[in-house]
Structure 1
């Protein structure tokens, strides 16, 4: 397994901002599963992060994580298309607390404002981000990160401090 890396303050601010978040896994047969997340938190020091997902919408993804602990998460700011992919190989499913519920609510509000910049109505955003059922956290250490912004740098590994 690659050595864990650290998320710097600039990247942490991006990941925790008004970005579309898609978490993905694969099973033993390499069949993918993905789900839209409801926010991200980066631990102080940047050594670990968690994305919040609705357990009822993410059953297959959660099963994959329990089987192989691997996850890839793509973060995209809709108004600029800046995109970053963070991968982890030690993912775990964890319960959330009241702070995470507040984070998810603030995330939805931030996405309403972000998507308004490109003309998406608030009702559509709220419907898109409606979490059905209990939220859980997918927590992991970043093992690698890549630029995914469309253009000549797409796919380039991000330099991240150890």
Structure 2
């Protein structure tokens, strides 16, 4: 069995970084271009990087969810707290659904990874659990296929579009 073919937007290393469970900030805007933003309580990235799902708490993210529902626009930043290695992906056709019981393991894996990530910068797991607290019935899953990707790591390349990665032959 061949490994999944990367999307061409993201290298396998970036896909692995994004999927392991790092800090995730989700943003959008309304039709008048007013921004909305919220920290995700979970995320999952397909092995080939072609599909991303982020999870937000509906009570904390009402405007964001409303904006994505109205426009389909989404921008998501994935950042490693210890290194500040950061990537931003964007799409214009995000889909929203209520989280389901099948999403609970994804959210638990994300929480565990974030506890480890945040511990590296000096904060104990109770801090992370408080920051990411949610009730499954209040969680919204937002899925999309990235159409743009940018390096957002602080430094001279911040904001630059990521170069396309070659696709392996299937």
TM-score (norm 1): 0.89
Q: 1:79 to 1:33 in 2, by over 3 A?
A: same
CA distance in 1, matches of 2:60, 2:156: 34
Per-residue deviation, 1:5: 5.7
Offset at residue 40 of structure 1 (A):
1.7
Deviations 1:22-59 (A, max 9, x none): 00011122211111112222235332211111122111
Equivalent pairs counted in the alignment come to 159
| Partner Cα distance (2:31, 2:118) in 1 | 36
- Verify: 1:119 aligned to 2:122, yes or no: yes
> Helix, strand or coil for the counterpart of 1:34?
strand
Gaps of 5+ in 2: 1-6
The Cα of 1:8 is off from its aligned counterpart by: 4.2
Structure 1: 5+ residue stretches without partners: none
> Any conservation in 2 of the 1:12–1:42 contact (CA below 8 Å)?
yes
Pick aligned residue for 2:84 from 81, 91, 94? 81
Q: CA RMSD in A?
A: 1.9
- Structure 2 residue 149 is matched with structure 1 residue 150: no
Give the aligned partner of residue 67 of structure 2. Answer: 64
| 1:137 corresponds to | 141
